[in-house]
């Protein structure tokens, strides 16, 4: 099966920066996704990486290293509304998405 690991919980202060790491071991690789999921809601798409490097989108950035099986999501200038679960998902060789268990980020005032 696929193996995707990310920390269970992280806490940070409003205005700070938080980095959520994701490591993966999958049968093939066709891209890595990050989703945001607020409690009781559906996951929503944040970012996509298929090549090595950094993708920046406003306050959120995502990095990928395929050789290391590693990605991170960087959240800058944290706001209270960023309190949510962040899901790392890898599209494998069969083009199926496998999800990590998610990282719950709590932003404190």
Partner 1 sequence: IAGITQAPTSQILAAGRRMTLRCTQDMRHNAMYWYRQDLGLGLRLIHYSNTAGTTGKGEVPDGYSVSRANTDDFPLTLASAVPSQTSVYFCASSDSTAGGRDTQYFGPGTRLTVL
End-to-end Cα spacing for the chain: 40
CB of 45 to partner 1, least distance (A): 5
Q: Should residue 1 be labelled a site residue for partner 1 when binding is judged by CB under 8 A?
A: yes
Task: Map residues 57-96 to x or -, x wherever contact with partner 1 holds by CB under 8 A.
Answer: ------------------------------x-x-x---xx
Out of 36, 102, 105, 107, name the contact with partner 1 by CB under 8 A: 102
Which member of 10, 23, 29, 48 binds partner 1 (CB under 8 A)? 48
- Shortest Cβ 40–partner 1 spacing (Å): 8
- Our finding on whether 53 is near partner 1 (CB under 8 A) is no
In the complex, the smallest distance separating the C-beta of residue 21 from partner 1, rounded to whole angstroms, is 16
Contacts of 102 (CB under 8 A, 6+ apart): 6, 37, 85, 86, 87, 88
């Amino acid at each position: 099966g696929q193996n995707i690991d990310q920390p269970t919980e992280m806490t940070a202060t409003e205005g700070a920066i938080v980095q959520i790491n994701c490591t993966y071991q999958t049968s093939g690789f066709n891209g890595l996704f990050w989703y945001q999921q607020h409690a009781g809601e559906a996951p929503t798409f944040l970012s996509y990486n298929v090549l090595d490097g950094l993708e920046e989108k406003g306050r959120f950035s995502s990095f990928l290293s395929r050789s290391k099986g590693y990605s991170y999501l960087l959240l800058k200038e944290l706001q209270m509304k960023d309190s949510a679960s962040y899901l790392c998902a890898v599209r494998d060789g069969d083009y199926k998405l496998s999800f990590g268990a998610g990282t719950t980020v709590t932003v404190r005032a």
